[in-house]
Copies of this chain bind each other. A is one copy, B any other.
Amino acid sequence: MREAYHDRLGQLADQLADMCGMAGDAMERATASLLGADLALAEQVIGDDAKIDDVRADIEEQSYALLALQAPVATDLRIVLAVIHAAESVERMGDLALHVAKAARRRHPNQVVPDTVRPYFAEMGRIAVELAREATDIIRTQDVKRARSLEDADDAMDDLHRHLFTVIMDKDWAHGVPSAVDTTLLGRFYERFADHAVSVAKRTVFVVTGRMPGYHGDTGDDA
């Protein structure tokens, strides 16, 4: 009985890892659609988002069933609750990738972000995808030591995000208000994506070690 229970818990973690991988792929494509003004790719991300939402609904349903039928305690209970929380965060990661793709679609065939800040988005996109992949691996391997490297990547994201703001706010910004507005919101989407990825990894660490790492990378910007 407990054996079967642990099998189901393992499957649930696998599903969460798959979902996190899907969110990473979505952000990778969304960033490519943004930087390449690629409408087909943007449409693909937009169309695929429902799949991520479906996995989340399935994970939640199975978690509830496990809680109701098996009434786990201690670590087993903590795992199920962490999975429920993490699935919610990963769904938001998917939504944020969706927002990026929608911005690319809205401005097509024009570029959304001006040339000056393209390198920022290339780098923020790279870090966002890296964070999603790392979180995926941490869920799969339960290798909590790797969670520490996420902090560095998240700090790098926060630095880029802050610096991006100084560029937009600078009096030399020559790209007008609409472009500044788009750039502002996009910057926030990447930064939030990173926060959620870190939070997913931290939930995993909590499950494995019983201790929640400090929310150091989470700069109070968790909205």
Contacts and interface: CB of A to CB of B under 8 A. Distances in A.
A223 interface: yes
A214 interface: no
Given A81-B84, A84-B81, A223 B169 contact: no
A220 interface: yes
Interface in A72-121: 73-74, 77-78, 81, 84-85, 88, 92, 95-96, 98-99
A95 B180 contact: no
Interface of A: 64, 67-68, 71, 73-74, 77-78, 81, 84-85, 88, 92, 95-96, 98-99, 165, 168-169, 173, 176-178, 180-181, 184-185, 188-189, 192, 220-223
B189 A188 contact: no
Given A64-B77, A99-B223, A169-B177, 14 more contacts: A64-B81, A68-B77, A84-B84, A85-B88, A88-B88, A95-B221, A95-B222, A168-B177, A169-B178, A169-B181, A173-B177, A181-B181, A181-B184, A192-B223
A165 B177 CA distance: 11
Nearest to A99: B223
Contacts of A180: 177, 180-181
Contact of A223 (B96, B178, B184): B96
A68 B72 CA distance: 7
